[in-house]
Amino acid sequence: MSSVKETVLEINLAHLTNNFKYLKSKVAPNVKILAVVKASGYGSDASVIAKHLEKIGADYFAVAYTSEGVILREAGIKTPILVLHPQPVNFSKLITYQLEPSLYNARTLKEFVKTATSLNQKEYPVHIKFNSGLNRIGFGEHNVDHAIKQVQHTNTIKVISLLSHLAASEDHEEREFTLEQISSFKKATKSIINSLGYAPILHQSNTSGILNYPEAHFDMVRTGIGLYGYSNEAKYDRKLKPVASLKSIISQIHILKPGDSLGYNRAFIASEITKTATIPIGHADGISRQYGNKNGFITINSKPAYILGNVCMDMIMVDITAINCKEGDEVIIFDQTSSAATVAEHVGTISYELLTAISPRVKRVVIDDN
């Protein structure tokens, strides 16, 4: 493989295919796959990811905000797109782009019906979000019936799905709580379907729900992190392949003498002869200051090189005293071997945060060996 010449985020589409197929093999053949491509496809490139998934058979897409759905439509995506967390200010744009809102409370339901009516919509597809215990967004068991009555009063909208979200599907210690969320969703949907007189698509599982709770697969599952190659669990991580690899290059090497300081605020002072490499990636690229002062590391020649001193806006300096390397060599921030999950864990965070932090100024390079 050729080595990189600047900081790049490689997006591997063969890995995406592998992950999609693996997750699909975990659900019954009739269960639809909704691919979550919010936050630029978990920090990669939503349009590239969605185009590929549309080609290999994703049934639905989801984004968090209306603007993210607009980007996908402008890229030519035709598959239905669920907007998980829209605001009324964007409802008319949402309709213009044929996006489908998750309506999560009386405020959004009322405003959506109002906007859809004013735009002469008939049976516009909407999704009703049920709060089964996450207590983030969603109708509760006490107000969902009222919402359904309002839906029945209008032919402006049609409920295409009922959804809920699990709070701790990756945490085996919370099994009892998760099972309660599942039975609460089952109970609520049964009564909603009764009132509606038809059965919308039911969905509650994220990636860890797919892997840990077959009883929560219903008609569709929503997978985000799994598609990008992470499962929150080692035994499944072995089957998945990280889609994104963040790579860079050694710009310059310095030899510090004992007493020499390094970087802003002189946060590192050498106590012995120390060889350092300066890398063109910093907190403006998504490597936060938490990673500084030997908390975080990158990989050079298969060896960990810890970050010395403070992370700068556009650079980090790493310890290469024990590593054989030279200026111009490629370095790995994360890839398949040194995963974003492992790197993130070192500073007490999760793969999701490290991946989605990679800023737009990092060049995306698509690798497609299909």
Ligand X SMILES: *Cc1c(COP(=O)(O)O)cnc(C)c1O
Binding site for ligand X (CB under 6 A): 36, 38, 84, 165, 206-207, 222-226
> In sequence order, which residues have a C-beta less than 8 Å from that of residue 85 and are 6 or more positions away?
64, 65, 102, 104, 137
156/312 Cα distance (integer angstroms):
53
93 given a catalytic annotation: no
Smaller CB distance to ligand X: residue 56 or 350? 350
Q: Which of 357, 324, 155, 81 is nearest to 246 (CA)?
A: 357
Q: Does residue 326 have an active-site annotation?
A: no
Q: Which CB sits closer to ligand X, 50 or 317?
A: 50
Which residue of the chain is nearest ligand X when measured via CB?
224
Compute the least distance from the CB of residue 189 to ligand X, in Å. 16
CB of 203 to ligand X, least distance (A): 8
CB of 157 to ligand X, least distance (A): 20
* Cα dihedral 123, 127, 132, 138 sign: negative
Q: Closer to ligand X at the Cβ: 163 or 277?
A: 163
Tokens 């197929």 correspond to 21
Residue placing its CB nearer to ligand X in the complex, 84 or 317: 84
Q: From the candidates 55, 264, 303, 363, which is the catalytic residue?
A: 264
**CB nearer to ligand X: pick between 229 and 292:** 229
- From CA 285, how far away is CA 354, in angstroms rounded? 11
| Residue 308: strand pairing partners | 317
Angle at the Cα of 167 from the Cα atoms of 163 and 57, rounded to 5 degrees: 50
For residue 72, the minimal CB distance to ligand X (Å) is: 15
**Beta strands in the chain, from DSSP E residues, in sequence order:** 8-12, 32-36, 60-63, 81-83, 100-103, 124-129, 157-163, 201-203, 220-223, 244-249, 252-256, 261-262, 268-269, 274-279, 297-300, 303-308, 316-319, 330-334, 363-367
Other CB atoms within 10 A of residue 327 CB: 11
In whole angstroms, the minimum distance from the beta carbon of 223 to ligand X comes to 5
Question: Annotated active-site positions, please?
Answer: 38, 264
